[in-house]
Amino acid sequence: MVDQNTVMESGRCIECGAKAIDGLSCYEQFGFPLVWEHRDPELYALHFWLVSCYMIQHPSNFTEEGYEKLVHLFKEAYDHGWEPAYILKKNREMTANISKISNPIPNKDRRRQLRKWSMTIEDIYLGGEDQAINNIIKWKNLLRSEL
């Protein structure tokens, strides 16, 4: 199964390893917490962490330089406890001189490599809206330890 941002084979994402749940790809599962955060300001405050955790686990969406900048921003924001507004400011500064962040290669032609992660979007989706805040915090902590 191929959607616009991911490839699932044998029921798993070939990039992050997340399992298809309820017939949904990892990208489709990612849409759920994006909706949930619009109902909960505390959850919305974790938007950067949700998106960056997912994107770091899908490097084929970026140019090499764009991916390196994302990982660097994630580490800096995590290690220094930056607030969301400051993260956005630093993101604008860090990406100002990058000519291309998103991978220009068509999705179906991108090179993907599986990397095993302790936690993926599958865990956020399965935990549901009630556990989303705790699970996103756990995800960012685990991801930081794996980078």
- pLDDT mean values, one per 10 residues, the chain (147 residues): 71 96 95 97 96 96 92 97 93 80 87 94 98 98 98
Bridge partners, 76 (sequence order): none
Does the residue 2 lie in any domain? no
Is 133 part of any domain?
A: yes
pLDDT at 112 (0 to 100): 92
What pLDDT, on the 0 to 100 scale, is given for residue 2?
44
Question: Which pLDDT score, from 0 to 100, does residue 94 have?
Answer: 83
- The parent domain of residue 138 ranges over 8-103+111-146
Q: Is residue 32 part of a domain?
A: yes
Return the closest-CA partner of residue 12 out of 138, 124, 121. Answer: 121
Ranges assigned E (strand) in the chain: 8-9, 12-13
Residue 68 in domain: yes
What is the residue type of 29? Answer: Q
* Residue 51 included in any domain: yes
- Residue 91 has a pLDDT of 87
pTM of the complete model? 0.92
The two structure tokens encoding residue 79: 């290690």
Q: Is 57 exposed, middle or buried (0-12, 13-18, 19+ CB in 10 A)?
A: buried
Query: How many domains are there within the chain?
Result: 1
Residue 3 falls within a domain, yes or no? Answer: no
Tokens representing 122?
């599958």
pLDDT at 95 (0 to 100): 80
